[in-house]
Amino acid sequence: MQTETKNRKSGFYIEVTCPGCGSGLELNEDFFVLKCDHCGSVHRVVMPDVPTAYFVPAKIDRREARFSIDRYLKKNDLPLTASGMALKQVYYPYWKVDAILFKLRNKAYERVVVAESEYNDPVSVTHERTEINLTPYIATCAAGSYFDGVPASIGMRAEYIRMLPYSVENLQEDFDSLPIVTTWEDVRADLKTKMGIISDVDPASFGKNVTELFHPKASLVYFPFLVFESYTQGGFNRYVVDGVSGRVLDHVRQLDTDRQADYPESPDIEFGALSVEHHRCPNCGLDLPPEQSWVYICHNCQQLVVIGGNDGIVDQVFRATGSDLPGDRAFPFWAFTIPDEDARRVKAMFGGVHNSNQLVIPAFKTRNFDAMYRLARRISPALPRLEMEAVENFDDSYDPVRISLDEALMLADVIIYRQSYSSPRRAQESAATFAPRGVKLIYVPFHLENYFYVDSLLNAVTFEKSLAR
């Protein structure tokens, strides 16, 4: 996840016209609901099922790029550029991968124990410890043919550089987009190989280390480069300039003709198109609140609206009752009913203390997966001790649902897999996809005590204040 800074937007902007008045709209990547500043209507961005393509607009022109090259040559005591250099302006495609990284490391630590008696020698004791971490994984890798001087990755820049939805009509003039030769299936297979190599590079003190990616999500990013080439008496020179920063990335004096000649056939890859629709109640047609949430209750007709094609799966919202503290803040959780055939296995993995038939996943956004995992372990066995009542309306004390039902199912997979490695039996067969028997959205009241939120009913479940945005 990423840090937030004031007066700066990160990720792509969606530049479309408002369906209501035709004025321009902008949307940051972290949000999918927006309100038109001109007419006040509320809209929702609909993401496609297939990978979405974006492009990064170039910020420098030919003159600025030539200046950067001359500055680079002067710094390296090389002759400045002459006239007659050919310019290619290209958009090179990269696959952007977002996933959850699971890392298990078996380590042995030695500790020297000194006996109280001066006649006994110190004794070295070895302790075995298994460390498990869940972290966000973000990477970019080349999707186009090999191009001398163009980097194989743009690193983390795809997380904060301004991007626009890709279409040929939207590209800047005199820029050509290079074809894609690497499929998403190729990238997934390569990532799986790399994860295995990472585990082997760091040898385990006992057992075996594990590195795996969960639920990788793909998108395409076209990045701008200005490529200058010249053939002079001094030989061939190619300068590759970053189209955003203007930095000279590479000075190529000899092309790798073997790799340049190997142009595989471009596969047929379908891009996803973003669309914008009115953010309205499907029952009465009134605008829904302009807050970022996957679940709404219409203030006009009390219709429950679940975004993401999951209408009907959740037909009611519940809240734990019994607390009326003035500082209560109701946090949302997805509660999944564990199928009978999985109940014994899941309870055994949680050490037998998981007496509930529910696996509960926080429905509020956080980038700290380990803290989310600990909270899920605490709230799941506590759920049977809470009495619930139906919720008819959301007021200001209710936090929005920032984790979709699909994402919560994915997190349940990750939690069960992580717990399987934490249990003594190491039941790795639990990696199979979790299929709950039922699902409910519940709210539990918490109040703030110093640096922690404490549940207002049992005073038993806590989580760090920083976990809730």
* pLDDT tens digits along 297-340: 999 999 999 987 666 688 889 999 998 888 899 999 999 988 77
Query: What are 345's two structure tokens?
Result: 């296995």
Q: What's the confidence (pLDDT) of residue 112?
A: 72
Query: What are 127's two structure tokens?
Result: 């302790």
The 3-state DSSP class for residue 355 equals: coil
Residue 455: how many other CB atoms lie within 10 Å: 22
In angstroms, the CA 381 to CA 299 distance is: 33
Q: What's the confidence (pLDDT) of residue 120?
A: 64
Q: What is the mean pLDDT of residues 404-427?
A: 77
pLDDT at 125 over 70: yes
Q: What's the confidence (pLDDT) of residue 13?
A: 53
In angstroms, the CA 286 to CA 118 distance is: 83
CA angle, 26 as apex, 23 and 32 as ends, to 5°? Answer: 115
Residue percentage of the chain with pLDDT more than 70? 83
Tell me the pLDDT band of 221, cut-offs 50, 70 and 90: very high
Highest mean pLDDT among 30-39, 129-138, 150-159, 341-350: 150-159
Residue 271: how many other CB atoms lie within 10 Å: 16
In angstroms, the CA 47 to CA 67 distance is: 40
pLDDT at 182 over 50: yes
Q: What's the confidence (pLDDT) of residue 248?
A: 95
**65-76 pLDDT, tens digit each:** 999 999 999 998
**Of the candidates 216, 239, 213, which has an alpha carbon nearest to the alpha carbon of residue 226?**
239
Residue 126, φ and ψ in degrees, nearest 5 = -100, 130
289 versus 48: which is more confidently predicted? 289
pLDDT at 364 over 70: yes
Tell me the pLDDT band of 262, cut-offs 50, 70 and 90: low
In angstroms, the CA 138 to CA 290 distance is: 29
Indicate the helix (H) or strand (E) that contains 102. strand 86-113
Q: What's the confidence (pLDDT) of residue 355?
A: 65
What is the pTM for the complete model shown? 0.79
* Mean pLDDT, all residues of the chain: 82
**231-244 pLDDT, tens digit each:** 876 688 999 999 99
Q: What's the confidence (pLDDT) of residue 15?
A: 60
Q: What's the confidence (pLDDT) of residue 8?
A: 38
In angstroms, the CA 162 to CA 11 distance is: 5
Indicate the helix (H) or strand (E) that contains 429. none
**9-61 pLDDT, tens digit each:** 444 455 666 777 777 676 655 557 877 778 888 888 887 778 888 889 999 99
Q: What's the confidence (pLDDT) of residue 424?
A: 52
Query: What are 107's two structure tokens?
Result: 């380590």
Residue 200: how many other CB atoms lie within 10 Å: 11
